[in-house]
Amino acid sequence: MAHKARIAVLVSGGGTNLQAILDAQKSGVITHGEVVLVVSNREGAYALERATNAGVESVTLTRKACGGQEAFEHALIETLEAHAIDLIVLAGFLSILSGDFTKRYDKRILNVHPSLIPSFCGAGFYGLKVHEAALEKGVKVTGATVHFVNEIPDGGEILLQKAVRVYPGDTPERLQKRVMRQAEWQILPKAVELVSERIVTEEH
């Protein structure tokens, strides 16, 4: 296939979801898109090493170095435009993007959230906090959701969801690992392929 959707993955930490996308490219789950850029908002994030290992260009942009959120988003837009990015994937990206930014990339930003939205989502729900809340509530089923990003945290249109069982004696850490393995790493690459295919089809 000549034309592929050009993907930027935004990260803040270890980059396990980035790895799932890179692996899905290799294994042929993702055929209509290609990761061409990884952007970290944290110096030294391990995800940057994953990008290097995969031969993908990476950039670090921090709010502090840019001098605030507005300048950070401006620099991010410039970087995305310089790389002709079609699709942005938030993979453990721990910075809320403004409404102005998300409007600019309507239906072009994907996020994976470690619960079945609308449960345990919105401002303040990220990482282990989501799994702590699920266990506190005593739910028997949790999971992950891939959704488009808009100005409301975890508020955009849902693309894919996958349920994961909660077992007696689960800790937040154990549940987090199971949700990643059984849900996040499965549905995020599928959603990336779905949207990439849509982008490529629209352009031809």
User: What positions carry a catalytic annotation?
Assistant: 113
> Tokens standing for 181?
């393995």
Nearest to 92 by CA among 169, 179, 28, 158: 179
Under a CB-based contact definition with an 8 Å cutoff, are residues 112 and 146 in contact? yes
Cα-flanking dihedrals φ and ψ of residue 81, to 5°? -70, -40
> Tokens standing for 43?
């110096």
Edge-first strand listing for the sheet containing 141-148:
57-60, 33-40, 5-11, 87-90, 109-113, 141-148, 158-165
Cα-flanking dihedrals φ and ψ of residue 165, to 5°? -75, 150
